[in-house]
Amino acid sequence: MGRTRPEAEKVAVRTELGILEGKRMTSDTPCSCDCFVSVPPASAIPAVIFAKNSDRPRDEVQEVVFVPAAMHPPGSRLQCTYIEVEQVSKTHAVILSRPSWLWGAEMGANEHGVCIGNEAVWTKEPVGEGEALLGMDLLRLALERSSSAQEALDVITGLLERYGQGGSCREDPTPFCYHNTFLLADRTEAWVLETAGRLWAAQRIPEGARNISNQLSIGTDISAEHPELRAQAQAQGWWNGQDTFHFAQVFSLTQQPVRMEAAKARFQVGQELLRQQQGGITAEVMMGILRNKESGICMDSGGFRTTASMVSILPRDPTQPCVHFLTATPDPSRSVFKPFIFGVGVIQTPQVLSPTFGAQDPARTLPRFQTQVDRRHTLYQSHQTALGLMEKNQAQGQQLWQKQQALEQEGLEAVRRLLAGQQTLPLQEWGGLFQTFVERESQVYA
């Protein structure tokens, strides 16, 4: 906390503009994601609806990974993307959508119905280039260690205080570092958590719809905060200690780069799309929002795009299963959302698991990211071939899209009947649902 105000702003602005180690980031730097949540009565059904688009480097592969619950001996250590942390005695089962080169995840859910998505953010607090926990590591750790959204928030803030956040967030020799915002949801409520270094503020969302888009969005409605948040702001001259404390205004960069203005526009469009559907938000509505290209929410520009998407239904009724729809492929406007349910016999779906490279992985060898490896999983490769067909042959592309939509609608209808009590599905079949739909999607492309 020793930097003066001019020094802190100078470092933060320089990092945000992409000047790291004397190198300027290109205009294709990944810098956008969008998360959405609907809490009753905004939802059309008695359920919390969660959604996220993960916008990343165009050629980055996201895999869908299932990690079962586990017990760990006392004193265990856990290797995350860059650093080790202390392991807890018990971790929950999780389903993760993650860039295949790292340990954490861009979005995911656990067996208790907790969902989390994270986004990049830059603030007046300088971004450190030293390796620590990535925001994506914090996300996975929270899912593995929490049984509610509020508990997940406590896990993240506790780890943030102890280990900090830092390290490059892309598979490239030029560092790309940022701080993080998170949207956390469970069956009853949601939380927005926004960080600036080790500092943070959180807002509880007990009802209604909310979104986040690569910028600080918490104002005066702060439900919880770091104990030193206001003292740091006052010490740096960002807040006079007398005016109403507005987190976003106090900690946001004074000079906003063009791409952050674009994030602001996306945030406003997302707000409006949610407002238009208030009281009628469903999983399908969320999928439609994630597919909105005109707003940039469905990103496909230059060197980055939406590389994976997720929508979750978290019923208020604890006897009903939570359902998580994941694409495991880029561009939700040309992908299939496939249902996953935690149940007996869940195993890893091999078609959405990327190859591994062990100790020779360029993400592990030092210096990092000096070479490239092919991380494409089977479904990703088939989907890329299908995208090529869609672009080259309009008639065949339309037929393929119709088949994708028919398969997706079949999954949505099965989930609707299940949650409405019109169809029973044995517990042992829940675990194989995602596998079944992945296999059927592969058949469509074959």
Per the annotation, the verdict on 115 as an active-site residue is no
Percent of the chain as helix, strand, coil, to the nearest 5 = 30, 25, 45
Residue 48: enclosing H or E segment and its boundaries?
Answer: strand 47-57
Residue 357 and residue 373 in contact, taking contact as beta carbons nearer than 8 Å: yes
Residue 312: enclosing H or E segment and its boundaries?
Answer: strand 304-315
| Cis, bond preceding 350 (omega within 30 deg of 0) | no
Dist. CA 27–CA 219, nearest whole Å: 29
Separation in Å, CA 393 to CA 180, 299, 428? 41, 22, 41
The residue annotated as part of the active site, out of 31, 33, 35, 298, is 33
255-258: long-range pairs with CB below 8 Å, 24+: 255/13, 257/16, 257/17
Identify any residues that bridge with 70 across adjacent strands, giving them in sequence order. 91
Dist. CA 153–CA 13, nearest whole Å: 28
Dist. CA 187–CA 310, nearest whole Å: 16
Q: How many CA atoms lie within 13 A of 430 on its CB side?
A: 18
Neighbour count for residue 443 (Cβ, 10 Å): 11
Say how far residue 2 (Cα) sits from the centre of its chain.
32
Q: How many CA atoms lie within 13 A of 194 on its CB side?
A: 29
Residue 317 and residue 409 in contact, taking contact as beta carbons nearer than 8 Å: no
Coil, strand or helix at 152: helix
Give the residue numbers annotated as catalytic, written as ranges: 33
